[in-house]
């Protein structure tokens, strides 16, 4: 029933009010009730004859089968229907959602409904800003728009951020044209301009948008934080607004997702590690599987930390340009920790094997980080992988052989 | 971003100055300041800063800029090695 209604809603711009990400426990948003809109009944009429005090009556914005998003203040009646006006400050559920997405929890389902929204009290002259329907992108935009009157057009990028969606061609020329036509934007605004984030440019051809729907694309700044200055400067972006940065905090915020992507397949890896560690002159030893397995597991996890945590943090200071080499450096540093810690409890061959393993894992994890940086070209990544992968495969094979062989030669 | 440099002489970026009409769209959309406009023509001033995102090529109205855009992501590239360049690949 609910699914049916949501589908129906996609036909009109009002659809934007609903979202999967923000299914509140209580549909009756307190914000709605404070707006002074006429309610079904006044609260006094609801005086209960028994039992606990009743909640307030439903707001006029409620529709059967829909849920109000917490970030919606109210709805503005326009020539193209009711458009949700959204808050420009983030509240606790938004911040909690950001943290979940940054940890990689349900990140691929953290989205808002595509369509038209607004902030402030926009009229026909107000600018139209285009963004992706990843909730983090949406939140990043709206929180920069306090004291601003604007329309916000959210594209259906399947819950992916602007830049990645542009690369995947869901933040695209066709999608911009489709949404502009679907909403009848030309009847809502008197101008014919759309402000797009610069990082959407790989997916959107400005001249084709103009041809397709009559709207001119104005390339806005990379960061939403620069939007107000951009608008104040007559929609001109200063050079710094057009250039990417990759600061320490911008790198560190990516680490949890990197780890979550690596640690999922690690369960299978660790299982294999414990099984291989148990192979002994007595066919199979459970105590060896456990104790030797723990050593390898520690070496493996240290390799993951060296490659997916240390490399992102120390990226500008690690020598060389190839990520697999940077990973080898941090991996060797990490490997000495584990060997020093284990000391004489393992043989020299085992120590060397663990150093090799930690370094290899770190090298691979570091190479994977290329996909999260804003400056590595695919041609460059492929070139370094042609060098790095053979080294990693050989090192891994040698590690496995020597580790399994160690109890026999000890 | 000047303190982050990646491999040199790898980018597939090409500019055909004959075709260029000097609209400066490439310089506007490039997030790495690869282009500049001189004498009403685009010029590549920092080729090795190019990360092949494809923004310039997509926004050149006369197809004077070309680049093979792609995903600079290791797991994606491994999959193209295994399944071939044209395969449908699920990635990051």
Give per-residue pLDDT as tens, A235-250.
999 999 999 999 999 9
Chain B contacts of A374, Cβ < 8 Å? 1, 31, 51
Which residues are within 8 A (CB) of A7 and not within 5 positions of it... i.e. 6 or more apart?
Answer: none
C-alpha distances in angstroms, A308 versus A185, A241, A390? 45, 29, 20
How confident is the model at residue B81, as a pLDDT? 83
Could you say which residues from 254 to 273 on chain A have a Cβ atom under 8 Å away from some Cβ of chain B? 261
pLDDT in tens, A378-400: 999 999 999 999 999 999 999 99
Strands A193-197 and B35-38: unpaired
Chain B contacts of A219, Cβ < 8 Å? 28-29
Nearest of A179, A222, A226, A180 to residue A374 by alpha carbon: A222
Taking the C-alpha atoms of residue A245 and residue A380, their distance in angstroms, rounded to an integer, is: 19
- The DSSP 8-state label assigned to residue A246 in this structure reads -
The tokens for A365 are: 């994890």
Residue of chain B with shortest Cα separation from A239: B33
How confident is the model at residue A5, as a pLDDT? 36
- Contact call for residues B62 and B20 (beta carbons, < 8 A): yes
Nearest of A337, A345, A349, A323 to residue A404 by alpha carbon: A349
Taking the C-alpha atoms of residue A249 and residue A254, their distance in angstroms, rounded to an integer, is: 9
Taking the C-alpha atoms of residue A33 and residue A319, their distance in angstroms, rounded to an integer, is: 59
Percent of chain A with pLDDT over 70: 88
Taking the C-alpha atoms of residue B68 and residue A380, their distance in angstroms, rounded to an integer, is: 12
Percent of chain A with pLDDT over 90: 71
How confident is the model at residue A310, as a pLDDT? 97
pTM over 0.95: no
How confident is the model at residue A22, as a pLDDT? 41
pLDDT in tens, A359-380: 999 999 999 999 899 999 999 9
Taking the C-alpha atoms of residue A126 and residue A145, their distance in angstroms, rounded to an integer, is: 13
How confident is the model at residue A26, as a pLDDT? 40
Q: Three-state DSSP class for A225? A: helix
Crossing angle for the helix pair A348-368 and A286-305, to the nearest 10 degrees: 40
Neighbour count for residue A251 (Cβ, 10 Å)? 18
Nearest of A194, A134, A206 to residue A163 by alpha carbon: A134
For chain B, residues with pLDDT lower than 70 are 1-2, 71-72, 85-92
Neighbour count for residue B62 (Cβ, 10 Å)? 13
Asked whether residue A32 carries a pLDDT value surpassing 50, the answer given is: no
- The DSSP 8-state label assigned to residue A395 in this structure reads H
Asked whether residue A38 carries a pLDDT value surpassing 50, the answer given is: no
Whether B10 and A239 lie within 8 Å, measured CB to CB: no
Mean pLDDT of A216-237: 95
How confident is the model at residue B73, as a pLDDT? 74
pLDDT bracket for residue A21 (50, 70, 90): very low
Nearest of A215, A99, A107, A222 to residue A151 by alpha carbon: A215
Nearest of A81, A80, A87, A79 to residue A35 by alpha carbon: A87
Asked whether residue A41 carries a pLDDT value surpassing 70, the answer given is: no
Give the count of alpha carbons within 13 A of A138, CB side only. Answer: 36
The tokens for A349 are: 């061959």
How confident is the model at residue B78, as a pLDDT? 82
Neighbour count for residue A374 (Cβ, 10 Å)? 18
Q: Is A162 on the interface with B (CB under 8 A)?
A: no
Could you say which residues from 208 to 227 on chain A have a Cβ atom under 8 Å away from some Cβ of chain B? 219, 222
Taking the C-alpha atoms of residue A121 and residue A150, their distance in angstroms, rounded to an integer, is: 7
Residue of chain B with shortest Cα separation from A257: B92
pLDDT bracket for residue A14 (50, 70, 90): very low
Whether B72 and A244 lie within 8 Å, measured CB to CB: no
Domains of chain B: 14-83 (3.30.70.20)
How confident is the model at residue A48, as a pLDDT? 57
Q: Which segment of A195-199, A246-250, A402-406, B71-75 scores lowest on mean pLDDT?
A: B71-75
Q: Three-state DSSP class for A382? A: helix
Whether A378 and B29 lie within 8 Å, measured CB to CB: no
Q: Is B38 on the interface with A (CB under 8 A)?
A: no
Higher-confidence position of A319 and A39:
A319
pLDDT bracket for residue A288 (50, 70, 90): confident
Written as one string, the DSSP assignment of A208-276 is HHHHHHSPEEEEE-SSGGGHHHHHHTTS---GGGGS----HHHHHTTHHHHHHHHHHHHHHHHHHHHHH
Whether B7 and A384 lie within 8 Å, measured CB to CB: yes
How confident is the model at residue A23, as a pLDDT? 40
How confident is the model at residue A281, as a pLDDT? 84
Domains of chain A: 2-42+62-244 (3.40.50.11600), 249-409 (no CATH)
């Amino acid at each position: 029933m609910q699914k049916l209604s949501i589908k129906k809603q996609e036909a009109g711009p009002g659809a934007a009010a609903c979202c999967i990400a923000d299914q509140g426990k209580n549909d009756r948003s307190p914000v709605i009730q404070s707006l002074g809109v006429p309610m079904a009944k006044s609260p006094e009429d609801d005086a209960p004859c028994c039992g606990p005090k009743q909640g307030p009556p439903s707001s006029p914005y409620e529709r059967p089968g829909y849920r109000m998003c917490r970030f919606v203040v109210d709805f503005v009646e326009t020539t193209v229907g009711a458009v949700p006006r959204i808050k420009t400050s983030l509240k606790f559920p938004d911040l909690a959602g950001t943290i979940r997405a940054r940890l990689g929890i349900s990140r691929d389902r953290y989205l808002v409904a595509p369509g038209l929204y607004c902030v402030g009290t926009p009229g026909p002259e107000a600018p139209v800003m285009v963004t992706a329907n990843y909730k983090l992108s949406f939140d990043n935009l709206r929180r920069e728009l306090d004291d601003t009157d604007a329309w916000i057009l959210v594209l259906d990028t399947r819950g992916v951020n602007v830049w990645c969606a542009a690369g995947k061609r869901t933040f695209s020329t066709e999608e911009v044209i489709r949404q502009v036509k679907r909403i009848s934007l030309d009847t809502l605004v008197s101008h014919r301009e759309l402000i797009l984030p610069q990082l959407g440019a790989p997916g959107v051809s400005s001249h084709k948008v103009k041809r397709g729907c009559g709207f001119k694309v104005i390339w806005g700044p990379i960061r939403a934080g620069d939007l107000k200055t951009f608008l104040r400067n007559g929609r001109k972006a200063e050079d710094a607004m057009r250039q990417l940065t990759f600061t320490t905090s911008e790198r560190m915020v990516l680490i949890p997702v990197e780890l979550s992507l690596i640690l999922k397949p690690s369960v299978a890896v660790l299982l294999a590690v414990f099984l291989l560690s148990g192979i002994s002159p007595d066919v199979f030893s459970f105590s060896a599987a456990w104790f030797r397995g723990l050593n390898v597991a520690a070496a493996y996890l240290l390799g993951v930390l060296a490659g997916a945590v240390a490399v992102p943090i120390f990226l500008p200071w690690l020598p060389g340009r190839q990520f697999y080499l940077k990973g080898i450096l941090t991996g060797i540093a990490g490997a000495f920790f584990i060997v020093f810690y284990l000391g004489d409890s393992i043989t020299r061959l085992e120590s060397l094997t663990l150093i090799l393993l930690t370094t290899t894992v770190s090298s691979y994890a570091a190479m994977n980080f290329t996909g999260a940086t804003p400056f590595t070209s695919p041609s460059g990544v492929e070139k370094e992988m042609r060098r790095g992968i053979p080294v990693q495969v050989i090192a891994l094979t040698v590690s496995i052989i020597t580790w399994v062989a160690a109890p026999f030669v000890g | 971003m000047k303190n982050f440099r990646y491999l040199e002489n790898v980018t597939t970026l090409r500019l055909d100055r004959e075709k260029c009409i000097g609209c400066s769209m490439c310089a506007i959309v490039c997030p790495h300041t690869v282009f500049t406009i001189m004498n009403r023509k685009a010029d590549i001033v920092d080729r090795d800063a190019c990360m092949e995102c494809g923004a310039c090529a997509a926004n050149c109205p006369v197809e004077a800029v070309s680049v093979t855009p792609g995903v600079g992501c290791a797991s994606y590239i491994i999959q193209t090695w295994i399944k071939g360049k044209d395969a449908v690949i699920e990635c990051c």
